Structure 1
Amino acid sequence: MKAQMKAQVKTHKLRNTFFLFLTAMIWGAAFVAQSVSMDYIGPFTFICLRSVIGGLFLIPVIIVLDGIRKKSQNESADVVNSENILHIETEEKQRLSWKNKQLIEGGIVCGIFLFFANCFQQTGIQYTTVGKAGFITTFYIIIVPLIGLFFKKYCGILTWISVVIALAGLYFLCITQKLTIQRGDALILCCSVLYAGQILAIDHYNPFVDGVKMSCIQFLTGGILGAVFMLLFENPSIAMILSAAGPILYTGIMSTGVGYTLQIVGQKGLNPTVAALILSLESVFSALSGYVFLHQVLTTRELIGCVLMFIAIVLAQLPDIRRKV
């Protein structure tokens, strides 16, 4: 029985690792869509629409998943005694219920972090390349374990070394020869800090709620906030929105609906820092997508910065990985 449980845990970890890898691919390509969309609409309009589409996309997904769960519970009734069934069903219903206070709270908190992270990223990407935006965004990989210090979570010596290397990488990526940081890079760096907060918030609420439902609430929260900012600061038209329909649909369905849901599901049972390492591959896919679709080529200085950032990202994860072995 124990061997079977260990095998199931290993299978789940492999599946969740694949989900996060797929998420990184989807997000990396999304930088291209985000950049192209800015030719037609403002950042708040884009965030509002992608968030609403992502949230609505998940509603039928949730209905299907709930149906699968009910079928699975009915089948398990034949092999588990009635007392255990009642106990399991009660706990599961509480966790999956829309009335779960932690679900609502977690969705709103994650949605606020995600909205403001998207605001900084969407605004900043107008002033920098897709590849640079991708690598600077993944600085959250360094920030996650550092913030963990405030919650008394272990942080090894390699993490501190990685911080130094990452700072050197950011210098090559962002700082010009006149020792000034470019506007777009500074905005993307702020976005990275907010993404770190969102990752830690997901890790906090994930064990107690249904991840897909929390993801849906997260997006709808972002959509409402986006609508408020859109109406206050922008004047979108139907023609402008239709012109950006392709990028909006990709980011709304794939990057938002599919990607962030895969992140929430994939993070379950994985160390948040290890999860962040896998998600950091987003930076590689963003650079490749920028080169293939937008013909954006990084300078030698920027390539050095990317290499240093990636080395730092990997080093930041090694203490936790070794400890888990």
Structure 2
Amino acid sequence: MRDNFRILKADIFLLVAAFIWGAAFVAQRVGMDYLPPFYFNGIRFLLGGITLLPLVLINSKKSNQLNFFQKRDVKGVLVGGFCLGSILFVASSLQQIGMIYTTAGKAGFITGLYVVIVPIVGYFLKQDIHFGVVIGVILSVIGLYLLSINEDFTIDKGDFFVFLCSVMFSFHVIAIGYFAPKYDCIFLSCIQFFVNACLSLIVAFFWESISWQAIYGGLWPILYGGFMSAGIAFTLQVVAQKDAPPAHASIIMSLESVFAALTGWWILGEVLSLRARWGCIFMFIGAVLAQIWPYVFKRNK
């Protein structure tokens, strides 16, 4: 009974995290009305890193060990954090630029393609690939065509940037899989947020208009993107995945794209055409199949 309660609580945490991340697409879209993309990312990831700092200290005290503060581990964490932060910088920059030209709902579904791209990249890195991924890729390609490809077989500029962002997020997931088992994951995330913030602010300083007035105007989207999306949602995910079964986590986290579409419609009044809605359905089913197939197949076997 107690185990069931822990699983239910973990599932609720994951659902809240998925909703926060889905709604973050709206915050990013609104933020573009006040700040240019690199400036917006720089501020929000700076806030995200600051949010995680207390968790890094709490974790170190709770475990009564400061191994990652030793010379060797600090070097490893800094290298890992820099690599993750650099990849995240490219991915988030492409996403934020794409958000200027596309809707929050479409961006949510296209970004979610990383779920099926990760196994494909893993295949070229000599990792096994299951049949569910093949089906997921086919459905996702059909969905992307319905959602983003025009009648003249061209893709909208914003959707193309977000698609590239999804590819970069797949490399980010693979990089996390390499570094996370070696070091404290919250400490790694904290560093990657600060690296992303620094790179974004450097680009913004040279190529964008920077003003405190812009921060004031876009304060709520920035706070949501920084504290809620980066700090709170990430913490909920880390806590929840200690108890949530992988199949539960896969399905619930896939709802991020659905929440992006729903909040885009509710808050921004975005409306998807019937063709686009069918595209979203195909992409969502493809993403879910790619994640849960190994668990269903294993159970049936």
TM-score above 0.5, yes or no: yes
Match of 1:94 among 57, 67, 72: 67
Match of 2:39 in 1: 45
Give the partner amino acid of 1:62. Answer: V
Whole-Å separation in 2 of the counterparts to 1:19 and 1:300: 32
- Shift of residue 170, structure 1, vs aligned partner: 0.2
Match of 2:115 in 1: 141
Match of 1:3 in 2: none
Structure 2 counterpart SS, 1:154: coil
Aligned residue pairs, count: 297
The alignment status of 1:245 with 2:219, answered yes or no, reads yes
Q: Give 5+ residue unaligned stretches, structure 2.
A: none
User: Per-residue displacement from partner, 1:74-119 (whole Å, max 9, x unpaired)?
Assistant: xxxxxxxxxxxxxxxxxx5435758513322221121112111110
Match of 2:22 among 28, 31, 36: 28
Mapped contact 2:132–2:294 kept (Cα < 8 A): no
Match of 2:139 in 1: 165
- Shift of residue 324, structure 1, vs aligned partner: 5.5
- Shift of residue 250, structure 1, vs aligned partner: 0.8
From the superposition, tell whether residues 118 and 276 of structure 1 become closer, same or farther in structure 2 (CA, over 3 Å).
farther
- Shift of residue 232, structure 1, vs aligned partner: 1.5
Mapped contact 2:11–2:248 kept (Cα < 8 A): no
Alignment of 1:110-129 (within 5 A): 110-129=84-103
Alignment of 1:1-325 (within 5 A): 19-70=13-64, 93-94=66-67, 100=73, 101-263=75-237, 277-322=251-296, 325=299
Structure 2 counterpart SS, 1:208: coil
Structure 1 counterpart SS, 2:291: helix
Whole-Å separation in 2 of the counterparts to 1:253 and 1:320: 34
Mapped contact 1:143–1:196 kept (Cα < 8 A): yes
Whole-Å separation in 1 of the counterparts to 2:16 and 2:292: 22
- The structure number with the bigger radius of gyration is 1
Whole-Å separation in 2 of the counterparts to 1:15 and 1:110: 30
**More moved, 48-57 vs 96-105:** 96-105
From the superposition, tell whether residues 59 and 158 of structure 1 become closer, same or farther in structure 2 (CA, over 3 Å).
closer
User: Per-residue displacement from partner, 1:49-97 (whole Å, max 9, x unpaired)?
Assistant: 0011111122123223333333xxxxxxxxxxxxxxxxxxxxx543575
Aligned Cα root-mean-square deviation (Å):
2.7
From the superposition, tell whether residues 16 and 196 of structure 1 become closer, same or farther in structure 2 (CA, over 3 Å).
farther
Whole-Å separation in 1 of the counterparts to 2:234 and 2:253: 11
Give the partner amino acid of 1:104. Answer: L
Mapped contact 1:131–1:287 kept (Cα < 8 A): yes
From the superposition, tell whether residues 96 and 260 of structure 1 become closer, same or farther in structure 2 (CA, over 3 Å).
farther
Structure 2 counterpart SS, 1:192: helix
Whole-Å separation in 2 of the counterparts to 1:197 and 1:212: 19
Mapped contact 1:144–1:273 kept (Cα < 8 A): no
Normalising by structure 1, report the TM-score.
0.83
Mapped contact 1:215–1:260 kept (Cα < 8 A): no
Whole-Å separation in 1 of the counterparts to 2:265 and 2:45: 27
Normalising by structure 2, report the TM-score.
0.89
From the superposition, tell whether residues 130 and 158 of structure 1 become closer, same or farther in structure 2 (CA, over 3 Å).
same
- Shift of residue 297, structure 1, vs aligned partner: 1.3
Mapped contact 1:203–1:272 kept (Cα < 8 A): no
Structure 2 counterpart SS, 1:120: helix
User: Per-residue displacement from partner, 1:159-194 (whole Å, max 9, x unpaired)?
Assistant: 112211110100000011121100000001001011
User: Per-residue displacement from partner, 1:6-46 (whole Å, max 9, x unpaired)?
Assistant: x98x9987766555433221110111110111111100000
Give the partner amino acid of 2:110. Answer: I
From the superposition, tell whether residues 143 and 233 of structure 1 become closer, same or farther in structure 2 (CA, over 3 Å).
same
From the superposition, tell whether residues 266 and 258 of structure 1 become closer, same or farther in structure 2 (CA, over 3 Å).
same
From the superposition, tell whether residues 310 and 259 of structure 1 become closer, same or farther in structure 2 (CA, over 3 Å).
same
User: Per-residue displacement from partner, 1:125-162 (whole Å, max 9, x unpaired)?
Assistant: 11111111100110001101111212332212221122
Mapped contact 1:155–1:319 kept (Cα < 8 A): no
Give the partner amino acid of 1:143. Answer: I
